[in-house]
Structure 1
Amino acid sequence: MLDGFREKYLLSDNAYAGMRRGIFWTTATNLVTMGGIGFLFYAMDGFVAHLTDGAELPSLPVLALGLAAFAVALFLCNWQQYNNTYCVFYRESGQQRIGIAERLRKLPLSFFGRRDLADLTETIMGDVQTMEHAYSHVLGELWGAVISTSIVFAGSLLFCWQLSLAAFWSIPVAFAMLFASRGPLKPLFEANRAQKVGVTEAIQETLDCVREIRATNQEGRYLEGLFGQVDRCERVCAKGELTNGLVVNGAYAVLRLGIATTVVTGASLVAAGQVGLMTLFAFLLMVTRIYAPFDQALALLSELFAAQTSASRMRSIMDEPLATGSADFRPDGHDVEFDHVAFGYGAGPDGRAGEKVLEDVSFVAREGEVTALVGPSGSGKSTCARLAARFWDATSGTVRVGGVDVAGVDPEALLADYAVVFQDVLLFDDTVMGNIRLGRRDATDEEVLAAARAANCDEFVGRMADGYQTMIGENGSRLSGGERQRISIARALLKDAPIVLLDEATASLDVESETQVQGALSRLLAGKTVIVIAHRMRTVLSADKIVVLRDGRVAEQGSPEELLAAGGEFARMVGLQRESAGWRL
């Protein structure tokens, strides 16, 4: 049965071993405590015998020695119990969070397109915390209570089976009530979590869009919606806690009925002369303690049920297929080849279900050349770049780098040969130097500064109070768009990878910033395989090759001169942008 718990609650080998030790020491603690009750009965029995029969009082040294032994044994058992329940599972919860993060790191990006980020955050933080509390507060207590109580029950049968049944019948009935409530409580647990995720999403959306909300005078509407979300969450939580409280308190009431039945049964047996008064006294002492180990287990057993739901969500992440492959990546050069590639975003782990984005796309981006992907929005340009870096896997067809199918290469090994500069730069709340060093963690300060100078970062860093040690705020909030972009290019320069992907790297920049960024890019791109995505036709007229995409297919490809002379889709797009350049207010 314990092995079933191991699978159901995703226990690691260390946690499983710790759980077994925790159960042992919880059982020992309960039995030692019951031994203290036995020691008290021994002392009272001797005192009563002295009053009624004139027997000698128990020896004070014996009583003192017994009391000292009880105290030492109880301390040691409690200490071991704490270490093997709480401490073990606190470490386990940390390892679980790290394990989930490691799993997420190795999953294909298609997974994140199907899962809400707030939901993933709740799994890493909330679900792991729920399971940690169930591990540390319920599992050991519950199993230890069951085992120790079974031992005490078996021993009590030797004295009086009638009183044993009267004292212990309420325990299985109370637990049966709780287990019977598991089905009705499960939807409440799920609704509770869904509402918490909803509140997190609403707060995050409000914070992310605070400028737009203020600019459009929508503060009242957004706050009203947020307050409504919080109110709904409170109602669902209150309903769940009330229902759970009714069940748990009902189980408490049933459990304590064992005391009443013990008194009534014992009085009847004493009146009939079937048991002695001291035997009844012994059982009354026992029932004052026998239910105590179940108190916490009963109160938190519903958390054990909730932990099953949390474990199933964690298991859904751990069961996701990884983007695996060989770590031995030895391409023959760095040409990037698309061979009849198709791809569709969808609900399945491989993107097979869903609307097609690419269909029968074939082209080659040569090493030492700049290949530009152009076309209208939604034509599949960014998707091609992400397939080239194996952020997703193609539904059909093959993407090769130096003749090697990227689908068979471990993503981390593959990306060691890629430098990526996106339009939307993501920076950390760290120093300028710390953000640039992400390109290569083992780079020296001199190498970082050289990459920064090559990316034209000196111009704006020189104005900062602490220079390259200046904190730039969350996602570079203290920097302009051009400054953030130059830090991103400095990262790529520091990495010095043979393949460079540029996804609209200059689209959102002003003329001055674009000029500075393009100067940095010219240093980055020299002699590499470069795939550029751009909407501005003038930025790709100097490319070695143009691939025009429309509706997920290659409409035409060739040099800029060839495509302009052909008068096709590329020539039409260039003409439209030239016309729009002359537009005035």
Structure 2
Amino acid sequence: MKEKNWLATVLSFATECKVKMILSVLCAVISVGGGMVPYIGVYQIIILFFHGTQTTSSILFWGGICIGGYMVKIVFYGISTTLAHVSAYSILENMRIKIADKLMKAPLGTVLNQTVGKLKSVMVDRVETIELPLAHMIPEGISNLLLPLAVFVYIILIDWRMALAAMVTVPIAVVAYGIMMKNYNQQYAEYMESSNYVNSVIVEYVEGIEVIKAFNQSTSSYQKFEKAVESFKEFTMNWFTSTWKLMNFGGAVLPSTLLGTMPIGMILYIDGSLTIAELTMCMILSMGIVAPLTSFTVFVNDLKSIEYAVKDANEFLHLEELPDKHKQVHLEQYHIDIQHVSFSYDTQHTQNVEKMENIVLSDISLKLKQGTISALVGPSGGGKSTVARLIARFWDVGSGAIKIGGCNIKDIPLSQLADIVSFVTQDNFLFNCSLMENIRLGNPMASDEEVIEAAKAACCDEFITALDKGYHTNAGEAGGRLSGGEKQRIAIARAILKDSPIVILDEATAFTDPENEDKIQKSIAALTKGKTLLVIAHRLSTIKNAHQIIVMEKGHIAQTGTHEELLGECVTYKNMWEAHIGAKKWAAHSVKGERKQYV
């Protein structure tokens, strides 16, 4: 990423705080001006003593001037840094809001493909790294640039030769830093790559520690973790050792202005071109002229951290948005018509099927009638979940069309589509609020009584009321006490409360044990009245009464029919049913055996 790009990105979020940033700069300039006053006051006091005209009142006067200038410096620096921090946090807030807005408008499937760790890292950690340099570069960067410049001009007013002498160490330090920074961009890029790798290994190790212990892989996994950390340490140490000599040399030479001002000043003094007061003042000023410049080595790192943080954030800031319509459409029916749909995750926006690679769905056509239950079954990887997600428009189809009530879903506003489609998956997330509020997410305007009625319809009421605080139990507190099946029923209760005309259940019975299967069946039955229901299930007994069962294999529709028809006509379905019945009998025998052990 070019520097102007990331800088333009940062500044684009600073529109609302532009005035604060300008005031921060002005206050920083005033602060620098105030910082120059003590030098003037000290110079006048030195002259008083050399001329023998010092008096208590004159010394107190110029001392007061010095203190006043110093107070102006401190006060305006405080105002500048406060305004800079406010601006920085406003930029951070705007960046995070913009990223969140992009995630809302991007294809949901694209967002779900991002790991939670990466989203958290970019939105929280990487964006946060912008604050420190941004908040300090405005006041400190300006003061560290203007103060040496002002001092240099002041020395020129005294004697231009002393001004040049004060700068004699700068070219030497610049050469040293230039050699040190020759491969800086490449080294920093490798540093970030190494840092990201070690972070990913750490996250992998921590998240997978349960599996590591369960399969006794702690030794090999720890070795990978240890090697990653050791490799990162070696890289950073090698980088440091390759630059520390030049860095220390430059840091030692740059402030050593007396190397130039002392001999040149003595020559000019002996020559009569410089008074002792001017010589003293020039040496005092020269010692402060380049010290602030050394902080720019820190600002180089700060600028790089901003560049990489914005680079990571830009990945989300430039996510391609789903095209959205704004005019609501009127739908009288809610049957779903899937017409010759093909789709690939790699080329989601390709409209030419022949150019699509790794095709997930190929020429799929289906009709899901309102008021009926349709079920998608088949081997894993057959494209069942993809069909469901395309109906909810997680992505746009590669070719073909999906229509609801005769209207292409691309012509339905995303907000309206979200209202008419309820989507329940096997990965049901409970927010950190009460169970009642978790269910009420389906309809934020619902009363407590309506929430409880939905919970009863989803067979949730019994286990919720058994909790100490009932419906007011925090989901975090109840999380460890709720089974996967109970969490699924809460998700179904949300869908019942939402009362959408189209309901999609994607493996919503995945965590159901045989004993509670009938409760999930009743929950699903409560969703079916007058609705278009699409169920994806491996547990075939839950969908054997569906109006139509669609068997999918490798992105194609193998066969469609009722349970009885498929048992007689579809070998794949028959094999799946026999395997399911066998597993179900085994599970039932296992449950009975466990009961006998506890009796």
TM (norm. structure 2) is: 0.87
Residues 179/330 of structure 1: CA separation in 2 closer, same or farther (3 Å cut): farther
Partner of 1:425: 428
Partner of 2:408: 405
**What are the superposed Cα offsets for residues 483-531 of structure 1, whole Å, 9 maximum, x if unpaired?**
1111111111122222111011113311122111111111122211111
Are 2:561 and 1:553 aligned?
no
Displacement of 1:383 after TM fit?
0.4
Partner of 1:457: 460
Partner of 1:121: 120
Are 2:142 and 1:153 aligned?
no
Partner of 1:100: 99
SS in 2 for 1:275: coil
Cα distance between partner residues in 1 of 2:28 and 2:364 = 64
**What are the superposed Cα offsets for residues 287-326 of structure 1, whole Å, 9 maximum, x if unpaired?**
2322343343333422212321222222232122122402
SS in 1 for 2:143: helix
Partner of 1:7: 8
Partner of 1:40: 42
Structure 1 counterpart of 2:358, which letter?
Answer: E
Partner of 2:338: 338
Residues 205/487 of structure 1: CA separation in 2 closer, same or farther (3 Å cut): farther
**Matched pairs, number:** 582
Residues 541 and 560 in structure 1, CA contact (< 8 A), matched pair in contact too = yes
Partner of 2:470: 467
Residues 241/79 of structure 1: CA separation in 2 closer, same or farther (3 Å cut): same
Displacement of 1:348 after TM fit?
7.3
* Structure 1 unaligned regions, length at least 5: none
Residues 34 and 286 in structure 1, CA contact (< 8 A), matched pair in contact too = no
SS in 1 for 2:503: strand
Residues 349 and 397 in structure 2, CA contact (< 8 A), matched pair in contact too = no
Structure 2 counterpart of 1:357, which letter?
Answer: V
**What are the superposed Cα offsets for residues 53-101 of structure 1, whole Å, 9 maximum, x if unpaired?**
x576762563355245324422331222221223321343233233323
Residues 306/179 of structure 1: CA separation in 2 closer, same or farther (3 Å cut): farther
Cα distance between partner residues in 2 of 1:110 and 1:251 = 52
Cα distance between partner residues in 2 of 1:324 and 1:334 = 22
Displacement of 1:443 after TM fit?
3.2
Cα distance between partner residues in 1 of 2:407 and 2:440 = 29
**What are the superposed Cα offsets for residues 370-398 of structure 1, whole Å, 9 maximum, x if unpaired?**
11112221110000011111112212222
Residues 30/205 of structure 1: CA separation in 2 closer, same or farther (3 Å cut): same
Cα distance between partner residues in 2 of 1:148 and 1:16 = 24
Alignment of 1:557-572 (within 5 A): 557-560=560-563, 563-564=566-567, 566-567=569-570, 569-570=572-573
**What are the superposed Cα offsets for residues 529-566 of structure 1, whole Å, 9 maximum, x if unpaired?**
11111223332221122222222122233444554565
Residues 119/28 of structure 1: CA separation in 2 closer, same or farther (3 Å cut): same
Tell which deviates more after alignment, 342-351 or 434-443: 342-351
Cα distance between partner residues in 1 of 2:247 and 2:190 = 20
Structure 2 counterpart of 1:341, which letter?
Answer: V
Structure 1 counterpart of 2:520, which letter?
Answer: V
Are 2:508 and 1:535 aligned?
no
Partner of 1:283: 282
Partner of 1:317: 316
Structure 1 counterpart of 2:87, which letter?
Answer: V
RMSD: 3.3
Partner of 2:110: 111
Partner of 1:414: 417
Structure 2 counterpart of 1:42, which letter?
Answer: Q
Displacement of 1:5 after TM fit?
7.2
Displacement of 1:447 after TM fit?
2.5
Alignment of 1:170-569 (within 5 A): 170-171=169-170, 174=173, 178=177, 184-240=183-239, 248-332=247-331, 333-346=333-346, 354-473=357-476, 476-560=479-563, 563-564=566-567, 566-567=569-570, 569=572
Displacement of 1:199 after TM fit?
4.0
Structure 1 counterpart of 2:28, which letter?
Answer: T
Tell which deviates more after alignment, 378-387 or 244-253: 244-253
Are 2:23 and 1:24 aligned?
no
**What are the superposed Cα offsets for residues 332-365 of structure 1, whole Å, 9 maximum, x if unpaired?**
2322222211111227777986411001111122
Are 2:91 and 1:89 aligned?
no
Cα distance between partner residues in 1 of 2:410 and 2:177 = 50
SS in 2 for 1:337: strand
Displacement of 1:121 after TM fit?
2.7
Cα distance between partner residues in 2 of 1:570 and 1:201 = 42
Tell which deviates more after alignment, 183-192 or 161-170: 183-192
* Structure 2 unaligned regions, length at least 5: 591-599
Percent same amino acid at aligned positions? Answer: 28
Residues 432 and 469 in structure 1, CA contact (< 8 A), matched pair in contact too = yes
Residues 151/71 of structure 1: CA separation in 2 closer, same or farther (3 Å cut): closer
Residues 570/212 of structure 1: CA separation in 2 closer, same or farther (3 Å cut): same
Residues 123 and 313 in structure 1, CA contact (< 8 A), matched pair in contact too = yes
Residues 408/42 of structure 1: CA separation in 2 closer, same or farther (3 Å cut): farther
**What are the superposed Cα offsets for residues 77-131 of structure 1, whole Å, 9 maximum, x if unpaired?**
1222221223321343233233323322332244347655433332223322322
SS in 1 for 2:441: helix
Displacement of 1:458 after TM fit?
1.8
Residues 208/363 of structure 1: CA separation in 2 closer, same or farther (3 Å cut): same
